[in-house]
Amino acid sequence: MKHLSLTDFRNYRSADVELTRGVTVFVGPNGQGKTNLVESLSYLSTLASHRTSDDRALLRVGCDMAIVRALLRHGDRELLVEVQLNRAAANKAQVNRAAIRIRDLPRYFSSVLFAPEDLALVRGEPGVRRRFLDELLVQRTPRLVGVLADYERVVKQRNSLLKSARARGLRVDQLTTLDIWDERLVELGSEIIDERQALLDALAEPVRRGYQAVAGADHHPTLSLRLSTRGADPEEEDGAAVKIGEAAASTVDQFRAALTGARRRELDRGVSLLGPHRDDVLFELNDLPAKGYASHGESWSFALALRLGAAELLRAESTTGDPVLLLDDVFAELDSGRRALLARAVADYEQVIITAAVLDDIPPGLGAGLIHIQAGEVVP
């Protein structure tokens, strides 16, 4: 990436930042807008913010739209990519001033964001882990943003029908209109489940290497799906961890059968109880769940390993170079040992962008260009 330009994004009326290969540090006191810069870059590659699910929160107060524009270099070729976020209309995207479908934007720019919120990947709720998987799925296969959006719409429509049926006192055998939505739920949901499993399989070794890189030890980290369609309830701490290959039936057949068996419970509660929106990922260290058993340092090592694993996977599959690594105030969260190990793990990537409140948080040896940020302004 050569240049980043923002208009009415978060606290920036406008901003222009020149970026170079190697390490760049955005430095300045907390609350000045450093995170907003890396958030804008992450949005270009994931179509999502790591801090909010509402795109309208990304617009500067009082503005109806915001623009994020980046000049990218792919070998000898330069690309100008742009996303326009609209308060009251659909978002838009362009590449070299030509309109594209916004879902195709991740094809042109790849990044991996490390943030203090990443500890929730290990210690937080299932939704955080689902989001991690789905954002990485979109980066690897941009068309899946449409599948995920379609699935979300089906779940909302199905929930609406279930709530209406419960309010009207309908019996299970009277819910014939639900059958059509069931088939779409199974079709789309099964694709998402299979894609998530394939992603976890691909991540297994990169995460193991990433964990060893930042922890200095191999605690045998593993990742496995906990599927609501196969009896695991992510709301229960002792829910079973079941991998796709451990069931005799196909994902579609298992989903369809589980849905039939759950119809009575779903009608009683007025909500869809099965599917990718209810699944979770189990992270283990030395055959014990990381959530609840791992120490603070081990949890951080696992969270960092997930991001390093994602970066390694994207790097291996890329035809346009390394993903840009975005480290948002992460070093401040780590002890000196893990700071040094993380710095070593990211040092050979083509471009690394770091935010820090004070330069003392940056490990020695990370030669860096400095950009000062103050009150939504890039200070020369």
Beta-bridge partner residues of 24: 353, 369
Task: Evaluate if residue 3 carries a pLDDT over 70.
Answer: yes
Residue 317: C-alpha distances to residues 43, 76, 159 (Å) = 20, 20, 38
For the beta sheet containing 324-328, the strands, ordered from the edge strand earlier in sequence to the opposite edge, are 111-114, 324-328, 351-356, 22-27, 368-374, 377-379
Q: Are 79 and 96 in contact (CB under 8 A)?
A: yes
Whether residue 12 is predicted with pLDDT greater than 80 in this model: the reply is yes
pLDDT, tens digit, for every residue of 283-310?
Answer: 999 999 999 999 999 999 999 999 999 9
Q: What percent of the chain has pLDDT over 70?
A: 95
pLDDT at 324 over 70: yes
φ, ψ for residue 339, nearest 5 deg: -60, -50
Pair type for strands 280-285 and 222-226 = antiparallel
pLDDT of the residue at 176: 77
Q: Which residue has the tokens 């958030």?
A: 39
Contact 58, 10 (CB under 8 A): yes
Q: Is the Cα dihedral 45, 275, 152, 120 positive or negative?
A: negative
Query: Is pLDDT at 367 greater than 90 in this prediction?
Result: no
- Interval 146-178: pLDDT, tens: 999 999 999 999 999 999 988 888 777 777 788
Q: Tell me the torsion sign for CA atoms 15, 20, 22, 28.
A: negative
Task: Give dist(CA 100, CA 203) in Å, integer.
Answer: 30
pLDDT for the residue 258: 94
For residues 223 and 204, the answer to whether their CB atoms sit within 8 Å is yes
The domain spans of the chain are 120-317
33: pLDDT confidence band, cut at 50, 70 and 90? very high
Radius of gyration (C-alpha) of the chain in whole angstroms: 22
Architecture of domain 120-317: Up-down Bundle (1.20)
pLDDT value at residue 188: 98
Identity of the residue numbered 297: G
* Distance from the Cα of residue 349 to its chain's centroid: 20
Over residues 118-146, mean pLDDT:
95
- The β-bridge relationship of strands 111-114 and 65-74 is unpaired
93 contacts 69 by C-beta, under 8 angstroms = no
**What's the CA angle centered on 361, arms 355 and 363, to 5 degrees?**
100
Residue 90, C-beta contacts closer than 8 angstroms, at least 6 positions apart: 102
Give CA–CA dist 311/247, Å, rounded.
31
The stretch 87-94 carries a mean pLDDT of 96
> What are the tokens at 290?
């990381």
Give residue 126's Cα distance to chain centre.
13
**b/e map of 340-355 (b: 16 or more CB within 10 Å)?**
bbbbebbeebebbbbb
pLDDT of residue 321: 86
> DSSP code of 363?
P
Cβ neighbour number for residue 279 with a 10 Å cutoff: 24
Predicted confidence (pLDDT) at residue 362 exceeds the cutoff of 60 = yes
Mean pLDDT of the chain: 92
Name the token pair of 10: 């978060």
Say if CB 221 and CB 285 are below 8 A apart: yes
Q: CA 338 to CA 118: how far, in whole Å? A: 15
Measured distance CA(59)–CA(49) in Å, rounded:
12
Question: What are 84's strand-pairing partners?
Answer: 67, 92
